[in-house]
Chain A
């Protein structure tokens, strides 16, 4: 799947959906905490994460699955366990996507300004 997030709101339903996945994943405090811990440790297994965080291993696995679907973590099998690491690319892409939306508003505001200034009707006396 492409990591690129387009700068156009319109016509990028797939890419906007990718951004949505990131927003949903980050909206949960436990998942943000998971990312914090993973970022601090470099990598960790679900078992380790369950020891560090106040949630069950089962809950950790579910949260990792959400983060994985959002492209925010990657799991690599090491022997009997899976070690998870943070993937910054999707956050980066989401940042670019938002920056693109902001640029669209700049374009629209410029057009609004042109229209309002150019088409100003004669003042009533």
Chain B
């Protein structure tokens, strides 16, 4: 069971998926929802994305999936001015699903643990759940679940 390894958020947008796809994948739009970022994007699997700020430097990312207008994902480095590599990047996945007249957009950011994730098997977690440090992890998990709804 992964305890803390992902963030999941979503919202419903009153616009068609095609429109949302443009907002998610065109550099001039990304620069608006990633506030203050100068964006370069090579929109194809393996393509480079750079989110640059004068203040903090450049965040590098590598595009993973490009399936218009359904899925867009990229791995991005956790720290500025560092290349995307195993253990230094998280995976960000956008999924668009038609809903009524609009579109549900879901974002999942995962991979915060650098090796094989903070995983505690169910039994051990249950046993140790009374302990303070695990309660903190547990509150994290609950937080994730509440907000994933």
Contact = CB atoms under 8 A, between A and B. Distances in A.
Binding partners A and B: yes
Contacts of A116: 13, 15, 19-20, 23, 103
> Chain A: interface residue count, which band?
35 or more
Contacts, number: 124
Nearest to A17: B79
Given A32-B120, A108-B34, A95 B128 contact: no
A59 interface: no
Given A39-B131, A106-B9, A116-B13, A111 B114 contact: no
Contacts of B137: 91, 95
Q: Is the interface of B mostly helix, strand, loop or mixed?
A: mixed
Contacts of B147: 102
Interface in A93-125: 94-95, 98-99, 101-102, 105-106, 108-113, 115-117, 119-121
Given A23-B114, A26-B113, A86-B132, 6 more contacts: A23-B112, A39-B131, A95-B139, A95-B143, A109-B9, A109-B10
